[in-house]
């Protein structure tokens, strides 16, 4: 019985971490159609921002939930103004430009922090479920991912800003005719996407050893999740992350981590063969 | 000359290669030591201290009058953590610079990229890194510890402190696979049982399911030859789950690149390891070495296992040249094969004539407050894994890396 609870926690954790990893990318790719290959590096910067702040004596939760997203969001803002805004609507060019950015950020982080592994310890102690010890931080990640989805949903659906943003994505000319500047809205959206990437990197930082090249480990999973999710932002993220999280953790638990990773990729290939538009291209149509 | 793309590329390539030429003036009568290491890129945490150690050794040799009355000159290339550059610089060291010896290579892949070039051009080659064992080639001398040297010492100690059921978590490439097999063998030899073995690709950083799985099996001890930054997460997540005080942990890799300085004391304390070197080794030789390092390079906290191996490799070669009284490859090999030994910072290093590997002191240690506290020293351990497959005395033309069957 205890084992089932532990496995359930691990599966939820797997889903939650996929949601966190992919949220920033989903906004940038899903809403403004920029393929941000520097997404992993934005996460890496979130991790470094957290670790630096904690080493300077800032409370770890403040560092993770406030400092890292704001810092990375600001970096994203600069990047958007200098590079991305010239490339809206040019999908392939954004790929090339953001790939260059990712190399640049890796180099920059190496110069500043050195090419060594750094990290902080998890702020929440482990605890027992029956005979098993589990990582208490997993619960924090599950809660954070759930809150993130709720926040995204309520902002997009419940606020005027969300409505304007969605409207601009559907018809920038119409939004402009109604007096909203698409340029400003794209900028704000990119800021939010970068900040979410930073947040994800920050929240995952205590679980990993961080190096300047850490971002590479996330980028593939993030893209698979976002693309398999399809056009709807929140529903897509939730459905594909749930599917892949369950598949990955179930296979990892039943066999080995190698098979777990393979199973995730196989599931993604099969899914995209059956549903080329992603899960929400067929199901949950019209949802956000 | 018209300015087309091809001309520009040729010009740029020529300029770039001119810029990469070593700055040291080539003294006609100096002894040339070639060094080939990744001092930039993702492996620079390993390579940079190795380079510093090599330069320290050469400076000391020169300060003591050089070799054969001649100064030793370093011809060093940075391979930028790019395996393709090893082939290129390996060719250059042997054919263009015509060095007398080459020290270097970090990953096994980099060693295999240049080993045959060294052999063909009859350039003596030293590979000074702990590795998976099994290379059998008369032209190469290896003085890092091999899995059997470490595991043979570590397993009985760790099992003595915990119990007989052992769970193994290893990196999924040749080092991890081979080391895991040796662990299984020594666990069985010590009357224990390997209750589980899991392999992890180098980019896996999420160990939650594995930690739960380990608990369903309930071993007495976990041995983790995991490699690299992503795998460091395991030690962190293990501590975060509160497992550290329930099941003891041992590793054959944690700390080689000073990883134990990244983990907090709460995460790292108590992890059992076995290496040739520790900064906390309290011997006159090591204390003097650290002082000389500080004088030359400043921060002695950079010193790690394979930096010391590199230092000992250069010193072993220098001693062989002195004994041979010549730089001739055959004479130096003969000197190295005559039970030659030196006293390095990590203890006595003796060349095993049969395998060209090293007989070394292995220290069993426990991580304590971001240092490695030496518990027990096992003097002069033989490289028994390679000895089982390799005999260069009987078969001097051998040129294989054996997969050691256990």
Q: Which CB contacts under 8 angstroms, 24+ apart, belong to A96-104?
A: A98/A34, A98/A35, A98/A36, A98/A37, A98/A38, A98/A39, A99/A37, A99/A38, A101/A37, A101/A38, A101/A41, A102/A37, A102/A38, A102/A40, A102/A41, A102/A215
Interface test with B, best of A13, A256, A261, A264 (most B CBs within 10 A): A256
In which band, very low, low, confident or very high, does the pLDDT at B230 lie, cut at 50, 70 and 90?
Answer: confident
Tokens 């949903």 sit on residue? A153
Q: Decide if A255 touches B, using CB distance below 8 A.
A: no
Question: pLDDT of B310-327, one tens digit each?
Answer: 999 999 999 999 999 999
Interface test with B, best of A2, A18, A116 (most B CBs within 10 A): A116
Q: Decide if A132 touches B, using CB distance below 8 A.
A: yes
The DSSP symbol for A84 reads G
Q: Cβ(A279)–Cβ(A228) under 8 Å? A: yes
Give the per-residue pLDDT at B10.
53
Is ipTM > 0.85 here? no
Structure tokens, A22: 């992919």
**Min distance B212 CA to chain A CA atoms (Å):** 7
The verdict on domain B2-145+281-360+381-401 having CATH code 3.40.1190.20 is no
Mean pLDDT for A2-31 is: 91
Mean pLDDT, chain B, as a whole number?
89
Q: Is B228 left (phi over 0), alpha (psi -120 to 50) or beta?
A: left
Indicate the SS3 state at residue A59: coil
Question: pLDDT of B115-124, one tens digit each?
Answer: 999 999 999 9
Q: Decide if B42 touches A, using CB distance below 8 A.
A: yes
**Min distance A259 CA to chain B CA atoms (Å):** 10
pLDDT of B27 higher than 80: no
CA-to-CA distance for B101 and B344, rounded, in angstroms? 20
Give the per-residue pLDDT at B13.
52
Give the per-residue pLDDT at B1.
42
In which band, very low, low, confident or very high, does the pLDDT at B7 lie, cut at 50, 70 and 90?
Answer: low
Q: Decide if B267 touches A, using CB distance below 8 A.
A: yes
Q: Which CB contacts under 8 angstroms, 24+ apart, belong to B16-22?
A: B20/B77, B22/B74, B22/B75, B22/B76, B22/B97
Chain A positions in Cβ-Cβ contact with residue B172 (cut-off 8 Å): 258
In which band, very low, low, confident or very high, does the pLDDT at A94 lie, cut at 50, 70 and 90?
Answer: very high
The b-or-e profile of B368-379 (16+ CB within 10 A means b, else e) is: bebbbebeeebe
Give the per-residue pLDDT at A283.
86
Chain A positions in Cβ-Cβ contact with residue B269 (cut-off 8 Å): none
Give the per-residue pLDDT at B6.
55
Mean pLDDT for B375-398 is: 92
pLDDT of B14 higher than 90: no
- For chain B, report the end-to-end CA distance as a whole number of angstroms: 65
Chain A positions in Cβ-Cβ contact with residue B106 (cut-off 8 Å): none
- Domain ranges, ordered by start, for chain B: 2-145+281-360+381-401, 151-251
B328, B406, B350, B397: which is closest to B136 by C-alpha?
B397
pLDDT of B173 higher than 60: yes
Mean pLDDT for B242-261 is: 88
Give the per-residue pLDDT at B4.
58
CB contact under 8 A, B262 and A116: yes
Structure tokens, A54: 């904690």
In which band, very low, low, confident or very high, does the pLDDT at B204 lie, cut at 50, 70 and 90?
Answer: confident
Give the per-residue pLDDT at B18.
46
Mean pLDDT for B379-405 is: 90
Structure tokens, A103: 């190399």
Q: Decide if A170 touches B, using CB distance below 8 A.
A: no
Element (H, E) at A27: helix A2-32
Intrachain domains B2-145+281-360+381-401 and B151-251 with the same fold: yes
CA-to-CA distance for B333 and B127, rounded, in angstroms? 15
Q: Cβ(B110)–Cβ(B67) under 8 Å? A: no
CB contact under 8 A, A132 and B212: yes
Q: Decide if A13 touches B, using CB distance below 8 A.
A: yes
Q: Decide if A260 touches B, using CB distance below 8 A.
A: yes
Chain B positions in Cβ-Cβ contact with residue A14 (cut-off 8 Å): 206, 208-209
Q: Decide if B197 touches A, using CB distance below 8 A.
A: no
Query: Phi and psi at residue A231, in whole multiples of 5°?
Result: -65, -30
The verdict on domain B151-251 having CATH code 3.40.50.2300 is yes
pLDDT of A265 higher than 80: yes
Mean pLDDT for B14-39 is: 67
Question: pLDDT of B259-298, one tens digit each?
Answer: 888 888 888 999 999 999 999 999 999 999 999 999 999 8
Over pLDDT 70: what percentage of chain B? 93
Give the per-residue pLDDT at A74.
97
Question: Dmax over Cα atoms in chain B, in whole Å?
Answer: 78
């Amino acid at each position: 019985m205890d084992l089932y609870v532990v496995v359930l926690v691990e599966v939820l954790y797997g889903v939650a971490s996929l949601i966190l990893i992919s949220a920033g990318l989903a906004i940038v790719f899903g809403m403004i159609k920029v393929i941000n290959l520097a997404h992993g590096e934005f996460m890496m910067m979130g991790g470094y921002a957290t670790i630096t702040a904690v080493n300077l004596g800032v409370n770890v939760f403040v560092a993770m939930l406030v400092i890292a997203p704001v810092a990375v969001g600001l970096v994203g803002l600069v990047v958007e103004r200098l590079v991305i805004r010239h490339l809206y609507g040019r999908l392939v060019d954004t790929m090339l430009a953001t790939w260059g950015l990712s190399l640049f950020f890796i180099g920059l982080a190496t110069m500043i922090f050195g090419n060594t592994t750094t990290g902080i310890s998890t702020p929440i102690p482990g605890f027992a479920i029956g005979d098993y010890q589990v990582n208490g931080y997993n619960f924090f990640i599950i809660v954070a991912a759930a809150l993130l989805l709720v926040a995204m949903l309520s902002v997009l659906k419940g606020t005027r800003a969300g409505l304007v943003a969605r409207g601009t994505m559907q018809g920038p000319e119409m939004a402009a005719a109604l007096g909203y500047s698409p340029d400003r809205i794209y900028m704000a959206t990119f800021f939010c996407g970068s900040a979410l990437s930073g947040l994800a990197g920050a929240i995952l930082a205590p679980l990993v050893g961080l190096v300047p090249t850490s971002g590479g480990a996330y980028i593939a999973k993030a893209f698979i999740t976002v693309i398999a999710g399809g056009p709807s932002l929140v529903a897509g993220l939730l459905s594909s992350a749930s599917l892949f999280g369950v598949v990955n953790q179930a296979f990892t638990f039943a066999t080995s981590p190698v098979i777990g990773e393979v199973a995730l990729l196989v599931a993604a290939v099969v899914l995209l063969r059956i549903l080329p538009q992603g899960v929400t291209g067929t199901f949950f149509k019209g949802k956000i | 000359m018209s300015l087309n793309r091809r001309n520009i590329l040729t010009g740029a390539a020529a300029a770039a290669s001119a810029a990469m030429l070593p700055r040291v003036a080539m003294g006609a009568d100096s002894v040339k030591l070639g060094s080939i290491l990744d001092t930039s890129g993702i492996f620079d945490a390993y390579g940079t201290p190795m380079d510093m150690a090599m330069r320290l050794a050469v400076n000391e040799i020169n300060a003591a009058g050089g070799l054969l009355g001649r100064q030793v000159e370093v011809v060093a290339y940075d391979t930028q953590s790019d395996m393709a550059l090893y082939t290129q610089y390996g060719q250059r060291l042997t054919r263009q610079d015509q060095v007398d010896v080459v020290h270097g290579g970090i990953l096994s892949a980099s060693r295999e990229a240049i080993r045959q070039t060294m052999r063909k051009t009859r350039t003596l080659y030293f590979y000074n890194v702990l590795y998976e064992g099994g290379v059998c080639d008369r032209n190469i001398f290896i003085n890092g510890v091999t899995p059997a040297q470490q595991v043979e010492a570590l397993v009985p100690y760790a099992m003595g402190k915990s119990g007989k059921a052992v769970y193994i978590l290893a990196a999924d490439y040749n080092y991890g696979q081979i080391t895991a097999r040796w662990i299984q063998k020594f666990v069985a030899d010590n009357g224990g049982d390997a209750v589980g073995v899991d392999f992890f690709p180098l980019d896996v950083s999420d160990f939650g399911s594995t930690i739960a799985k380990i608990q369903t099996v309930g071993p007495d001890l976990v041995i983790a030859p995991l490699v690299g930054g992503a795998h460091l997460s395991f030690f962190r997540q293990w501590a975060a789950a509160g497992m550290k005080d329930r099941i003891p942990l041992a590793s054959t890799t944690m700390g080689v690149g000073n990883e134990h300085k990244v983990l907090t004391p709460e995460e790292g304390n108590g992890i059992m390891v076995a290496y040739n070197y520790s900064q906390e080794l309290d011997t006159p030789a090591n204390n003097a070495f650290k002082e000389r390092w500080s004088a030359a390079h400043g921060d002695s906290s950079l010193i790690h296992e394979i930096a010391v191996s590199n230092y000992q490799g250069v010193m072993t070669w220098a001693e062989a040249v002195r004994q041979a009284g010549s730089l001739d490859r055959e004479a130096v090999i003969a000197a190295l094969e005559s039970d030659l030994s030196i006293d390095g910072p990590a203890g006595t290093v003796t060349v095993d004539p049969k395998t060209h590997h090293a007989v070394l002191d292995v220290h069993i240690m426990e991580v304590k407050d971001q240092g490695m506290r030496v518990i027990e020293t096992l003097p002069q351990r033989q490289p028994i894994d390679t000895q089982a497959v390799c005999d260069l005395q009987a078969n001097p033309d051998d040129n294989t890396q054996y997969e050691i069957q256990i």
